[in-house]
Amino acid sequence: MQITNDIMSLNEKNASTLESQHVHDVYENIASHFSETRQKPWPNVVKFLNKSRPGAIVLDVGCGNAKYFTNTTDIYQLGCDRSTQLAQICKNRNHQVFNCDCLQLPIRSNCVDLCISIAVLHHLATSDRRLKALKEINRVLAVGGQALVYVWAKEQCRNQNLSTYLKQSKVNNKHKPESLVESTKEFCVESIDVNLPIHTNRSNFIHNDLLVPWKLNQKKEQEKESETHLRYYHVFEECELKLLCEQINDCKVIDYYYDQGNWCVIFEKIKI
């Protein structure tokens, strides 16, 4: 399928518009349902957070429903999210969470000991914006502080093993991994005149930039069909995230790995 207007050519204004309509607005609408489906922390993220020492400042950028917050009292945990609805869910759970854009963190430089940003960066529409978000995370880290970033991988089948994302479809278990591909449907984001492919859930990725449907369950008494929202994603290829981090002068990549359909990087702020 030809994407008639290459997303690579998006300027800053149009990229922001795309994110506003197909990321920010969507999460405002699906926040409650999204939170219900996001309860179990990923083990390798928990392992990273367990490195925190007493008195540490730990930041979660794009914290969602704060599922990575712990009950420990010997560290200071704070989080931020672009969605006011998700932030309110966190506040209702008595977590220290505020609203902001990951491109402009209202936090002073050189003060955070550990930072995580899980499944956030892939919602930014250009490479420049993704790099800017990584620079912001690195800016707030103290020298020697570390960050863990997870993004969705284009490679959902690695070493003949399906990712959890693909395994969750019963249909996938009946087909070879290479046969599980996106549909050929596309959607025109009219406000910026860009066509993007609509991803078929639980299938392999062909395109790097796409819209992923989220079906919002309606209450039975409403007797309505499921409402579908389209979220923008940029799925990362191997080494893409690492190469972005390596463009930051005072940043050192400590580890880079694949975890159940995600590319993951741990980096440390260094003194230059």
Residue 213 maps to a domain: yes
Query: So what's the pLDDT on residue 25?
Result: 98
CA 45 to chain centre: 13
Query: So what's the pLDDT on residue 191?
Result: 86
CA angle 33/184/226 to nearest 5° reads 25
Average pLDDT over residues 24-46: 96
When pLDDT is cut at 50, 70 and 90, the band that residue 13 belongs to is very high
More confident residue, 5 or 29: 29
More confident residue, 163 or 96: 96
Residue 22 maps to a domain: no
Pair 225, 215: CB distance under 8 Å: no
User: How many domains is the chain partitioned into structurally?
Assistant: 2
DSSP, res 177: G
**What share of the chain has pLDDT > 70, as a percent?**
89
* Inter-CA distances, 234 with 68, 114, 149, 210, 269, Å: 23, 25, 15, 7, 25
- The span from the CA of 29 to the CA of 42, in Å, is 25
3-state secondary structure of 60: strand
CA angle 70/74/75 to nearest 5° reads 65
The answer on 48 and 176 residing in a single domain is: no
Backbone angles phi, psi at 244, to 5 degrees: -65, -45
The answer on 245 and 229 residing in a single domain is: no
Residue 134 maps to a domain: yes
Pair 146, 114: CB distance under 8 Å: yes
Pair 62, 118: CB distance under 8 Å: yes
More confident residue, 1 or 9: 9
CATH number at residue 121: 3.40.50.150
Strands 112-118 and 57-61: parallel
The answer on 192 and 134 residing in a single domain is: no
Residue 15 maps to a domain: no
Query: So what's the pLDDT on residue 5?
Result: 45
Query: So what's the pLDDT on residue 202?
Result: 87
Pair 55, 74: CB distance under 8 Å: yes
The answer on 160 and 150 residing in a single domain is: no
The answer on 140 and 111 residing in a single domain is: yes
Residue 44 maps to a domain: yes
The answer on 98 and 63 residing in a single domain is: yes
> Going along 127-271, which residue ranges are E strands?
141-152, 157-158, 161-162, 186-189, 194-197, 209-216, 227-234, 251-258, 262-269
Average pLDDT over residues 23-31: 98
> What is the tens place of the pLDDT at every residue in 73-127?
899 999 999 999 999 999 999 999 999 999 999 999 999 999 999 999 999 999 9
Place of tokens 């694949």: 258
Residue 9 maps to a domain: no
For residue 128, the one-letter residue type is: D
The answer on 133 and 202 residing in a single domain is: no
The answer on 166 and 150 residing in a single domain is: no
Residue 65 maps to a domain: yes
What token pair was written down for 59?
A: 């930041």
Q: pTM, whole model, 2 decimals? A: 0.91
The answer on 42 and 168 residing in a single domain is: no
Whether the pLDDT of residue 231 is over 70: the answer is: yes
The answer on 230 and 122 residing in a single domain is: no
Q: Average per-residue pLDDT in the chain?
A: 90
Residue 4 maps to a domain: no
For residue 50, the one-letter residue type is: N
> What is the tens place of the pLDDT at every residue in 172-225?
445 444 444 555 578 888 888 899 999 998 899 999 999 999 998 765 445 456
Query: So what's the pLDDT on residue 173?
Result: 47
The answer on 217 and 245 residing in a single domain is: no
The answer on 64 and 143 residing in a single domain is: yes
| Residue 175, domain extent | 155-234
